[in-house]
Amino acid sequence: MPITLTVPEGLLSPAAEAEAFAGLTDALLTVGGLRGNRFMTPNVVGSINVLPQRHLFAGGEATPVAFVELKLPGIALATAEARQAFIARATDVVERAAGGRLPRERIWTNIVYAEDGAWGIAGQAYTNDDLVGALQHAAAS
């Protein structure tokens, strides 16, 4: 489940970048009720994009901002409450990692869903039912 964190240059130290990504991963696994799941945990992947401040915008002007984008299959974070919980936790994680240098109102989170059957891992397309089966199998083994 790819997570992309985009931040301006100089906002996060390398240690804070690692802390932020670990925190976003934990937020997804915790809110999704999948902490420790042997299928899901290694499939929470992603990247941190560090851009020059002049390449980040709000209101049409270059502004220090942060974006969290989470791509998921349709079965994940399926309720409004789960999405709200992830968004709140993700914002907390980025705000904490920024150490007071970026206000909450400059942190945006976006959750994007793939169509059923359009989720691929290791060259295999998974339907939502396939994913549920893999998650259940990993929890039971």
Residue corresponding to tokens 């009720």: 33
pLDDT tens sequence for the chain (141 residues): 899 999 999 999 999 999 999 999 999 999 999 898 888 899 999 999 999 999 999 999 999 999 999 999 988 999 999 999 999 999 999 999 999 999 999 999 999 999 998 988 889 998 988 888 888 887 765
Kindly report the pTM of this predicted structure: 0.91
Q: How far apart are CA 23 and CA 19, in angstroms?
A: 6
- Other CB atoms within 10 A of residue 62 CB: 13
- Specify the fold of 3-140: Macrophage Migration Inhibitory Factor (3.30.429)
Q: Which DSSP symbol is given to 60? A: T
User: Dihedral sign, CA of 11, 16, 21, 27?
Assistant: negative
Which amino acid, one-letter code, is at 1?
M
